[in-house]
Chains A and B, each alone.
Chain A
């Protein structure tokens, strides 16, 4: 095996890991604080990609489009939290049913609104030319997504560790009753976290769009990935989502490159092993 192989696949792995972090950090946040397995998260990601497509087609600037789509999906997330999930807090089975129901609705409406054809999101023009590394080409855009993911990770870290809101969220993750007891406005915090988590999914959808395209079934392709990341890394911990994303990136890329026949199991087998031997994931703060 040539050394270029290792370099290129490593780049593939970290770039994919970055995208996965954008996808799964929101899921992890929501689950960590509110114990809600938001199974509509994949649909939010897909909706972000579709919003991105339509806005870019109208000539929007890529950065602005990503933020606008993130805001749109975030508002939808708030609506889901306020109007539906709030009515059934603590009812885990109900949450599974409702969030899957919402993902059915979103997928079906996307089909109606954007037809079934795959829709490409154009990357910003200046990022379309590939970068040459050791004589091998690598898409510049993917490295930019990785950079954005890293910036987002640092930003989230500061939010969680250095701000009042972050402290409140951490307190809520560790012990909800206690947090309520010391007067933390838990209700507003929930809404805020849902906004943030959903918006991250929406932004992830726009940023992932030029790589993956927007197409029906994107939601179902992405949701299991988010779940795997959260399981491997452990829910409710930013570090967990971060490490989990890159672990999955490496597992996926090197797994299928080295042992193509394992392509179907390369993610699920490690997941089972981790859960069997480390039921809280690698960095879990939360009892799953």
Chain B
């Protein structure tokens, strides 16, 4: 398994680095950048979902909190790096507050508080139009220039996003492997036992919530840098649901799942929609069909399938 994993990883890395050279056209390079951004959103929500069993329907709130903060700070004269750091700090602090509120209720209650908080952020973005421009949105004047490198071209932005997402992926991978990640899974499956063993289940969940908020905010920064524009539409319930669906579709229990889910949904919305007018129906059918045949998402489903094909001795005829 580890040998396979290493090979897969190397192949994936090589492919990702070569993307701009392989596909050439700026449009598709930009498409790849968007997939990366949404993959980071999905990965961040999956820290709660996959390891903690916490279903959030308010993740797009970080787009509002971090995105508007970053744009407003930039417009008001802060340099891009300071603006980004302050926006991240603000957004992560808000994640701390949201976590304290949301974790009061389990299950559906948790979903609903996150939804309500997301809607409140959306409402503020919509209503405070002197600050946020309301429905008309706000523009970020330009992409940042880290270390003097201009990111305005499509391939450069792609590599920028790739580096950020790779870093995030590394941290999230370490997180999932760490004792902390293990205790989070424990808190998901056996909350009572974990408490009795002396773990502070609430604290474990809260810290996870905050970390998810932090990486969601990083993704929000990328989103704003890519689009150079933010309006309330980007932080509505629709967007929160989409991010959640990406993680579930790909498979919340795996690390690759959210990335695959993000790629599928982003491509259906932006590329397939050019050729299939009823792309919303197609997307809905993909959700239904995938869940019927692979109840825990595409990546775990395919892994199971792969294992069954490669080890023919185990109970045959169980695949379909």
Contact = CB atoms under 8 A, between A and B. Distances in A.
A102 B284 CA distance: 6
A91 B291 CA distance: 10
Interface stretch (B13-21, B76-84, B104-112): B104-112
Interface stretch (A62-70, A107-115, A191-199): A107-115
Contacts of A102: 284, 288
A39 to B, nearest CB: 8
B296 interface: yes
B271 interface: no
Interface stretch (A140-148, A165-173, A263-271): A263-271
B292 interface: yes
A94 B55 CA distance: 11
A91 B292 contact: no
Contact of B280 (A92, A97, A108, A271): A108
Interface in A230-288: 231, 235, 261, 263-265, 268-269, 271-272, 275-276, 279, 287-288
B295 A268 contact: no
Contacts of A91: 291, 295-296
B287 A97 contact: yes
B55 A93 contact: yes
Contacts, number: 130
B263 interface: no
Given A97-B245, A275-B104, A288-B106, A88 B295 contact: yes
A103 B295 CA distance: 19
Contacts of A122: none
B198 to A, nearest CB: 24
Contacts of B241: 100
Interface string A63-103: 00000000000000000000010011001111011101111
B285 A105 contact: yes
A120 interface: no
B63 interface: no
A102 B126 CA distance: 29
A84 B116 CA distance: 28
Interface stretch (B117-125, B143-151, B202-210): B117-125
A55 interface: no
Q: Chain A binding site: helix, strand, loop or mixed by DSSP?
A: helix
Nearest to B288: A101
Contacts of B104: 275-276, 279
Contacts of B285: 101, 105
Interface in B283-300: 283-288, 290-292, 295-296
B291 A268 contact: no
Interface string B55-77: 10000000000000000000000
B123 A265 contact: yes
B266 to A, nearest CB: 15
Contacts of A279: 104-106, 109
B112 A104 contact: no
Given A88-B292, A93-B252, A271-B112, A107 B280 contact: yes
B249 interface: yes
B209 to A, nearest CB: 15
Given A97-B287, A276-B101, 14 more contacts: A87-B291, A93-B252, A97-B245, A97-B248, A98-B291, A101-B286, A104-B281, A104-B284, A105-B285, A231-B108, A264-B120, A264-B123, A269-B116, A275-B105
Interface of A: 31, 37, 84, 87-88, 91-94, 96-98, 100-105, 107-109, 112, 220, 224, 227-228, 231, 235, 261, 263-265, 268-269, 271-272, 275-276, 279, 287-288
Interface of B: 49, 55, 101, 104-109, 111-113, 115-117, 119-120, 122-124, 126-127, 237-238, 241, 244-245, 248-249, 252, 278, 280-281, 283-288, 290-292, 295-296
4 closest Cβ pairs, A-B complex: A264-B123, A101-B287, A104-B284, A105-B284
